Each structure stands twice: as structure tokens, then as C-alpha cells.
Structure 1
Amino acid sequence: MTVRIENQTCFFATENGEQIRLCGDLTVITDSDKSMSAVEIEGRRIYITEAEADALTVAGATDGRKHLKATDSDSVI
């Protein structure tokens, strides 16, 4: 997945072509099962890196992420 941001407009390269959205219309979420950030476009989740998530929120997307905490005793977190 590649995210490009220009003038508060987000361009997502997907397997079905490019999706274009205004950053202010997006909410970055956390998928707890995958421990990844994502945005939902037309009912489909597009997974992004934390750097991309941060860039989207700086460009105007709503930050709806939640912090996950490891509960496994073998975790380094």
C-alpha cells in the first residue's frame, strides 16, 4: 500500500487502482486483531504504516487510533 498526500488530498494505490479522498474526510483507526492502523474507504479497510497514519493525521484526518498493550508475559513491550 502506498499513500501519497498533496494539499490535504490523499491518494491510495490499491490493487483496484487509485482511491482519492480529502484527508479531512478520513479517520485513521486501529485494527486490534492485526495490531495495525487502517482507514476505511467504501467499506473496505486499507492498512497503512504508523508513519503514514501520522502523516494523514497531520494533513487533517481524524486520529481514531487506540493504543494497544501487550498482555503476554513474553512480550518485550
Structure 2
Amino acid sequence: MPVEIDAKTQRCTLIEQDVRYEGPAAQIRISTDEQLRMSIAELNGHRVPITEVEADALTVAGAVDGRKHLKATTSGSVI
């Protein structure tokens, strides 16, 4: 799991491979990476791909939610 959240202090850690980026939840921005087609958590210029469950947990902790819905442009898509 690339995200750790301390609910008491609202500090979060983003983990990418063996590197850990830590800071207050309010300084984390959640966005959508259109090429990866998934959410990204960004802290101090470091971007870490995360699941939607992790994105939701971060926003509950106080992260800024800048996600947007992507829609398929292929005809016949169920989206």
C-alpha cells in the first residue's frame, strides 16, 4: 500500500518503491493522470500512483481532491 495515514495527526506518507514522502494531508493534492488512467497523489512535487480507495482515504484525511472523471472516446464503450 503506497499510502499511510495517521488519523490523529492527519499526517500522511506516500510510498514509492523504497522512498517515503511525508507531510500534512492538507498539502497532498489528488489528481487524475489521463495517460495512466488512475489517480495520483502529489506532495512537494513527488507524484505517486494510488488506488481510488487510497484517494478517498486521503481526501477524508484532508487532502485536496482534484480528480476528474475520464470518459471513453471509443464507440461502443460502456463508459
Does the pair score TM above 0.5? yes
**Counterpart-to-counterpart distance in 1, 2:35 and 2:19:** 26
**Aligned equivalent of 1:2:** 2
**Aligned equivalent of 2:15:** 13
**Counterpart-to-counterpart distance in 2, 1:74 and 1:34:** 21
Q: Could you list the structure 1 runs, at least 4 aligned residues long, displaced by more than 6 angstroms after superposition.
A: none
1:53 is paired with a residue of what secondary structure? helix
Query: How many aligned residue pairs are there?
Result: 77
Q: Is the 8 A contact 2:29 2:43 kept in 1?
A: no
* Percentage of identical aligned residues: 49
Q: Is the 8 A contact 2:3 2:54 kept in 1?
A: yes
CA RMSD of aligned residues (A): 1.5
Shifted more, 21-30 versus 39-48: the winner is 39-48
Unpaired runs of at least 5, structure 1 = none
Alignment partner of 1:27 out of 29, 37, 41: 29
TM-score normalized by the length of structure 1:
0.86
Question: One-letter code of the match for 1:41?
Answer: L
Deviation for aligned residue 1:76: 2.6
Alignment partner of 1:56 out of 55, 58, 64: 58
Deviation for aligned residue 1:25: 0.8
The reply on whether 1:45 has 2:56 as its aligned counterpart is no
Unpaired runs of at least 5, structure 2 = none
